[in-house]
Chain A
Amino acid sequence: MSRLPQREGQRIDRSRPLGFSFDGKPRQGFAGDTIASALYADGQRVFSRSFKYHRKRGEICGCGQCANSLVTVDGAPGVRACAEPLADGMAVEHQNAWPSLEFDLMAATDRFGSRLTPPGFYYKTFIKPRRLWPYYERVLRRAAGLGRLPRRQAERGWETEYRRRHCDVAVIGGGVAGLAAALRAAELGADVVLCDEDIEPGGLLLAEGAHEQARDLAARCEEAGVEILSRASALGYFDGLVAIWQGDTLHQVRADRHVAATGAIEQPLIFPGNDLPGVMLSGGALRLAALYAVSPGESVVVSTCERRGLENALLLHNLGVSVAAVADLRREGDEELCDSLRAAGIEVLRGTTAVGASGRGQLAKVTLAAVDARGRAQGHPREIVCDCLAVCGGAAPASSLLLQAGARAGYEPGANRFLPGEFPPGVNGAGAVIGNEDPASALLSGSLAGAESALALGFGGAEDRARAEDERGRLEAATASPSPCLAPPALATDGRSEKAFVDLDEDVTAKDVAYAAAEGYDSIELSKRYTTATMGPSQGRFSQLAAVRALAEDTGLTLGEVGLTTARPPWTPVPLGALAGRPFEPAKRSALHGRHREAGAVVKWAGDWRRAYDYGDPAAEALAVQDDAGLIDVSTLGKLIVRGPEAGELLDRLYPNRMSTLKPGRIRYGILTSEAGRITDDGTVCRLDEETFYVTTTSSGAAAVEQWFSWWQADWRLDASITDVTQGVAAMNLAGPRARQILAELTELDCSNEAFPYLDGQHGEVAGVPCLLLRIGFVGEVGYELHCPAPNARALWDAIAARGARPFGLEPQRILRLQKHHILVGQDTDSESTPYGAALGWAVKLDKEQDFIGRWALEAKAESEPPTALVGFVCPGGEVPSEGAAVVEAGVVTGQVTSSRRSPKLGQSIGLAMVPPAAARDGARIVISDRGQRIEATVQTAPFYDPEGEVLRS
């Protein structure tokens, strides 16, 4: 393992070696290494196989931006080796190659399959015969890919914490501009959050020898109170919210002002063989050398079209890297730098660029030449033997977040960049992303952005404003005469047939873009989708500009006319688990939930409640209610207190029947309808006193009914108040032949039928608990609904259960109510059901003088026969048709089964169904079609059990 000499600013700790494995073979690195730097130092040059052609790919960016270094670590795929810190014992494996990284059978697609897989091939080939597509798909998906998710892995149970962070200023990017912005804003008094993708803030300064300045700035930020989030990627800008992914935390940062200091991304050059391992970005080569003491090659050639390439070549040389030559596409400019390079013994070739690279699986030789306007090599190309070509094809501002926020980008030919402008309110840009790339300008623009942000929020004073004005002037002066740069050709070539890649992630070549343009995909958005250029894990970081250049070349448009594709989140690939976050599943539970669990209840969802479905034997539970006594928790019922002098009128306007005529202590059933006369809910209303009504609703309808009442009350402004007490009032239904006796043992109330008749509501203590007792019978037996404070419910439940009332769940309740034809809104009704079609016409009082919601519609409905009628049915054959099964007549669907059960008491299969009116008569035969089975049934319009209600009223 060879390393460059130790220097200040390096991240590795040579005193702490770490062992790890790559494809099962032991390797070694140092603490502070990334996986990639350790592998590179150990001689590894091939890190992955490409997505489509399975070509060998090596390190490019050295900072986790590209897809070339994706590996599987300890079973987790898609880890970026060049950004992932090395840890002792890591098991690192290659992806997307078989049987090995070095020898991959699927690499045959590169040699033989290219013609079969042009852009959009999946629209043209493998589509006939259609039935074979699933097999094609399986093969194609296995052939391509970015690693495999194991069936079992820790991430499947990963619970990412969401953390909401409000602040004054959010700074995205921790380079010199971001740090300066954060520092300035914080010094002016703002609460600042800064996020950065690297393991420490500092950006390019860290690799360019200015690590002390970077670390000093970061320390000053922390002293000023800036919260710095490292290894934290800003995923997107969502209407002022910036989502930042940091390991197992997803920060949702809501700031009053945002500063995007996201930098600029060095771009590759497009030439044949530009994907060979050994061809990398000059910044990537520099990071390897400066931060990890790894020489990118024994002999390095640099090819650039602007100043940064020259600077990086000199920095590499100063770090001890052997730089053989520098090709600068520009013929002039930056003469001092060129002189410095020459003085260092480095050959500088002005007016030339890389036009080809070759080698057997790894770079061995680069061809440099002057090129014409279309990128064709001119004159006498020069071949140089080297094992590393560091390229600098300009830079693309990392403007995605700014564009997501609403900024617009335009092409600046002088800068050879698409620069964002027209920032939306509350958003600033700073540093390289807006074109201020040299450290001094970046520092100044960051400071200015931080000041502007803080000043806009009312921090600082006149002196600070003056300083900001001064900085603005200095920044303009500093950027008045930028270093010249030259746009590289869309494809520079010496004429060889080797592939030249525009997009390394997706294996899209310059030829592919031309092919797509020839087929008519001549806008950048269409070209993107057809070729898939920019759609890989890098999100177009290294391919968008190249794709735009290629399309411009193919269509004759300018770069500005071609434009950029829409910027969309996520800017950085993120595991779905991180977005999903820790599961929040708000579940309501009654105060008796613990008791149900203890009794062995099967608990299921019922709306947003967790309810006892049964206690193991629903049939026996139902029989117990009918033969002895049963007890069910109905705390889930919606419960509203409606109070005030005009409470009665309010209810009269909401219900189709009369509620204001109820006498205190009496109960009335009511349905609620929409303006269109459709049933929306039902329940009971008990008048507690002259001005107070107690309204119950369905379990799932409580919130909607409360909103419905409040919505109308906000308009009518009646003297009445509405309070939802659903969650504070527990309710349990004691029912059965022995219910009265049990109740009488627990209360001093007179429970006789004369003193406490059906549909009476009385207040009293039961087992020492204050209760409202409602004599109603949803399950068809003598029954008492006991409503009490939830904190006292357990004592009441225990007292009743101790007297032999058998707990029963939702399922037996459904059997029992079905025997009585008692409907469930939402189950026995649908969005079109009116009271008339649901056998509830009796609950509509069109003769009442008070107008009510839905009156107009119900008056119209009353004049015609409803299209269906809800009736009971019995299946003589004993079948229990599925709920939802079709009622058919002569092969035509005419209705449907809404409820069905086997009644243990009656020994019959019974149900409710919507049928044509003609069939809504006793004895009518209907046919039910249930998953291919024909079931004959007989209509019964009266309840199956106690049709006259004698039991209920007894």
Chain B
Amino acid sequence: MSTAFISPLGSAEAPARGPFADAAAAAGAVTEVRDGWEVVTSFGDAAAERAACASSVGFADFSFLAKLELQAPAATLESAAGALELGSAERREGAWLCPVAPELRLELHPPAAAAARREQLEAAGVRTCDLTASLGAISVCGPRATETIARFSAIDTRPKSLPVSGFRPGSIARTPAYLLREDEERFLILFGAAYGAYFWETVATAAAGLGGRPVGLDALAAPSEVPHA
């Protein structure tokens, strides 16, 4: 017996579908399968999507990111996964290491890298649980990203409170969630996957009011900057 049944396993024929899949499809998403996941590459107009990210706000589904929960005594976590300061995530080898509590962390990895990382951590005495399917992820980026988030969350996103790499648990759209500032104008929201349709509607409405729109992965950045795409 194992907990393999909680880890998504997709294929080209039957890809894993994130919590936004239905909503994105209804919005005209163009998809392809990458690493077993059905990902949105665009919504049919990559230029307009890039423009939205540059001048207003774009939001994209990143639910395909592998999300590992790490639980262990603080000292074990530190020796196995490095020291982290609460409130501040760290970018390491294409992954985000996010401290939730001294004895609890989240790690965000490219889908293909998760299994090896789990094995490594387990071997070091860290209990891991694959929360890839449990948490949806949405990237909100652009100069109006903070304004967009301010429409549905009271988390303080000013740079002095949430600098780049800042990581906060908190109420987002009235649900328990996490907010990670990946860049000056780029945020990643992790939320309960069952809220996918609700989150899509919430973020889309807020973004639309500010001239924003859903965007595909192609619009966000060069592939090298989107390690999982």
A592-615 interface with B by 8 A CB criterion: 593-594, 609
The reply to whether the CB of B18 lies closer than 8 angstroms to some CB of chain A is yes
- Distance in angstroms from A151 CB to nearest chain B CB is 26
**Contact (Cβ within 8 A) B147 A689:** no
- Distance in angstroms from A618 CB to nearest chain B CB is 24
Which chain A residue has the least Cβ–Cβ distance from B156? A166
**Contact (Cβ within 8 A) A164 B154:** yes
**Contact (Cβ within 8 A) B174 A191:** no
**Contact (Cβ within 8 A) A163 B127:** no
Interface readout for B4-15 with A: 1 if CB under 8 Å, 0 if not?
111111110010
Partner of B198, one of A585, A664, A728: A585
Instruction: Check A166/B132 contact, CB under 8 A, given A587-B198, A727-B193.
Output: no
Residues of B within 8 A of A763 (CB): 1-2, 4-5
The reply to whether the CB of A789 lies closer than 8 angstroms to some CB of chain B is yes
Partner of B1, one of A584, A585, A588, A761: A761
- Distance in angstroms from A334 CB to nearest chain B CB is 48
The reply to whether the CB of A589 lies closer than 8 angstroms to some CB of chain B is yes
Partner of A589, one of B2, B127, B173, B196: B196
**Contact (Cβ within 8 A) A163 B7:** no
Bound Cα distance A537, B2 (Å): 66
Which chain A residue has the least Cβ–Cβ distance from B202? A584
Instruction: Check A791/B10 contact, CB under 8 A, given A609-B194, A664-B1, A725-B131.
Output: yes
Bound Cα distance A582, B152 (Å): 9
Bound Cα distance A161, B8 (Å): 37
- Distance in angstroms from B105 CB to nearest chain A CB is 12
Residues of B within 8 A of A609 (CB): 194
**Contact (Cβ within 8 A) B11 A768:** yes
The reply to whether the CB of B211 lies closer than 8 angstroms to some CB of chain A is no
The reply to whether the CB of B135 lies closer than 8 angstroms to some CB of chain A is yes
Instruction: Check A791/B5 contact, CB under 8 A, given A587-B197, A588-B192, A721-B71.
Output: no
Instruction: Check A586/B129 contact, CB under 8 A, given A162-B151, A164-B153, A164-B154.
Output: no
**Contact (Cβ within 8 A) B10 A792:** yes
**Contact (Cβ within 8 A) A768 B152:** no
- Distance in angstroms from B5 CB to nearest chain A CB is 4
**Contact (Cβ within 8 A) A689 B2:** yes
B11-35 interface with A by 8 A CB criterion: 11, 14, 16-19, 22
The reply to whether the CB of A641 lies closer than 8 angstroms to some CB of chain B is yes
Residues of A within 8 A of B69 (CB): 723
Partner of A788, one of B2, B5, B134: B5
B129-148 interface with A by 8 A CB criterion: 129, 131-135, 147
Residues of A within 8 A of B156 (CB): 166, 254
**Contact (Cβ within 8 A) A641 B129:** yes
A715-756 interface with B by 8 A CB criterion: 721, 723-729
Bound Cα distance A787, B198 (Å): 23
A658-709 interface with B by 8 A CB criterion: 664-665, 687-689, 692
Partner of A727, one of B9, B11, B134: B134
Residues of B within 8 A of A762 (CB): 1
- Distance in angstroms from B181 CB to nearest chain A CB is 14
Bound Cα distance A527, B51 (Å): 62
**Contact (Cβ within 8 A) A725 B151:** no
The reply to whether the CB of A772 lies closer than 8 angstroms to some CB of chain B is yes
Residues of A within 8 A of B22 (CB): 593-594
**Contact (Cβ within 8 A) A789 B205:** no
- Distance in angstroms from B106 CB to nearest chain A CB is 11
Residues of A within 8 A of B11 (CB): 768
Residues of A within 8 A of B6 (CB): 641, 725, 728-729, 789
The reply to whether the CB of A644 lies closer than 8 angstroms to some CB of chain B is yes
Q: Which residues of B contact A (CB under 8 A)?
A: 1-11, 14, 16-19, 22, 37, 63, 69, 71, 127, 129, 131-135, 147, 150-154, 156-158, 161, 173-175, 192-198, 202, 205-206, 209
Other 17 A-B pairs with CB < 8 A, given A166-B161, A725-B131: A162-B151, A166-B157, A587-B198, A589-B196, A692-B1, A692-B2, A723-B129, A726-B134, A729-B5, A763-B1, A763-B5, A770-B4, A789-B5, A789-B6, A789-B9, A794-B17, A795-B14
21 contacts between A and B (CB under 8 A): A162-B151, A163-B151, A164-B153, A164-B154, A166-B156, A252-B154, A582-B205, A586-B173, A591-B193, A593-B22, A641-B6, A688-B3, A725-B129, A727-B193, A727-B194, A762-B1, A763-B2, A789-B7, A790-B133, A791-B16, A792-B8
**7 cross-chain pairs, A with B, having the tightest CB-CB distances, nearest first:** A728-B134, A728-B133, A791-B16, A588-B194, A688-B1, A727-B194, A772-B5
